[in-house]
Amino acid sequence: MSDTQGLTAYLTEMRRIRALEEKVAELRAGNDIVGSVHLCNGQEAIYVGSVATLDLTRDAVFPTYRGHGWAVACGVPMRAILAELLGRETGISGGRGGSAYFTAPAYGFYGENSIVGAGAPIAAGAALAGTYDGSGRVAVAAFGDGAMNQGAVHEAMNFASIRRLPVIFVVENNSYSELTPIADMVRVDQLFRRANAYGMTGAQVDGNDPVAVASAMHQAVARARRGLGPVLLEMMTQRLVGHYIGDVQHYRPEGELDEIAKSEPIVRIEARLRGDGVPQSALDQIRQTVADEVERAAAEALADRLEPTTSVLEHLYV
């Protein structure tokens, strides 16, 4: 595959994630989707670059509640994702998980978690199991910058390091811990430096560049598979939307969104492709093709049967 083909593949996948999130926002605004929704617009390069390095027949991804992009990158069908958010029985979790809890293990996507940072110890457990079952599994725990201040994340990193577990801890640092700048919450805001305290390898990555993400993840995954232990990757990005649907973002300085929109992943990769000689018409065609795909998926999901409320107690285990 040529560099241009690779960049085009990344662009297409990022466009799919962006279009899905825009449709989710539309459906939530119309109350077709109810409940809490957290979108990932602007962070797409992290998902497509990371998943490109994984073997999802054995590896496992444990995202945070901002997980729609991870699901798309893992190959979960968009109709099944939208049906889940819409409470349809055809949803990937039968309409029971909604936006913040759906899971699709057949695709290596082991579910979101609304407890901040809770995916980190779960991923460590999956990695530990992989050291016994002979699968060679690598587990990816993804969470935001604010989760780095959670005790469970500290415990997971310490445990993973002392046991040399094959875990990649991915910090999606969009510079805001919910509504508060991360710089106002910690003395040292270069979060990857905390890896040294655990005896882990750590690095900061341009999270708006899928090529840079894939390169860093490739090295981290190879290291983990060799039994050299976990890696902490701080992927620097921005979100182009609020922390949650309805967040008016009064905490942002004036003009900040306009400025970060100039360097978001899709803008950057399209500029690179134009520089490689790809015509704008070809880029526009990718956008239209993806938009049509999402519209079809949404129409099909909306036509599906709602999951009966009488099934709410099924598939519960204590």
Query: pLDDT of 251-281, one tens digit each?
Result: 999 999 999 999 999 999 999 999 999 999 9
Please, are residues 103 and 97 in contact by the beta-carbon 8 Å criterion? yes
Amino acid, res. 241: V
Query: pLDDT of 174-215, one tens digit each?
Result: 998 988 988 888 888 899 999 999 999 999 999 999 999 999
In this model, does residue 2 exceed pLDDT 80? Answer: no
Please, are residues 66 and 44 in contact by the beta-carbon 8 Å criterion? no
From CA 217, how far away is CA 248, in angstroms rounded?
34
The token pair that represents 12 in the structure block: 């297409």
From CA 123, how far away is CA 129, in angstroms rounded?
10
Q: What is the pTM of this model?
A: 0.95
Average pLDDT value for residue range 133-153: 95
Q: What is the DSSP letter of 305?
A: P
What confidence category does residue 111 fall into, taking pLDDT thresholds of 50, 70 and 90? confident
What confidence category does residue 313 fall into, taking pLDDT thresholds of 50, 70 and 90? confident
Which of 172, 292, 168 is CA-nearest to residue 232? 168
Average pLDDT value for residue range 63-75: 96
From CA 200, how far away is CA 6, in angstroms rounded?
31
From CA 48, how far away is CA 68, in angstroms rounded?
12
185: Cα separation from own chain's centroid: 23
Residue 99 sits at the vertex; the CA angle it makes with 240 and 205, to the nearest 5 degrees, is 45
In order, the DSSP letters of 177-216 are ETTEEGGGT-S---GGGGHHHHT-EEEEEETT-HHHHHHH
Percentage, residues of the chain above pLDDT 90 = 88
H, E, C per residue of 153-169: HHHHHHHHHHCCCCEEE
The token pair that represents 43 in the structure block: 């962070």
Beta-strand ranges (E) seen in the chain are 60-62, 139-144, 167-173, 176-177, 180-181, 201-206, 231-236
Please, are residues 19 and 290 in contact by the beta-carbon 8 Å criterion? yes
pLDDT, residue 309, reads 85
Q: Given this structure, which CATH class describes domain 3-304?
A: alpha beta
In this model, does residue 317 exceed pLDDT 80? Answer: no
Domain extents in the chain = 3-304
From CA 195, how far away is CA 288, in angstroms rounded?
42
The H or E element that residue 24 is part of is: helix 3-29
- Between the two ends of the chain, the Cα-to-Cα distance in Å is 48
Please, are residues 144 and 177 in contact by the beta-carbon 8 Å criterion? yes
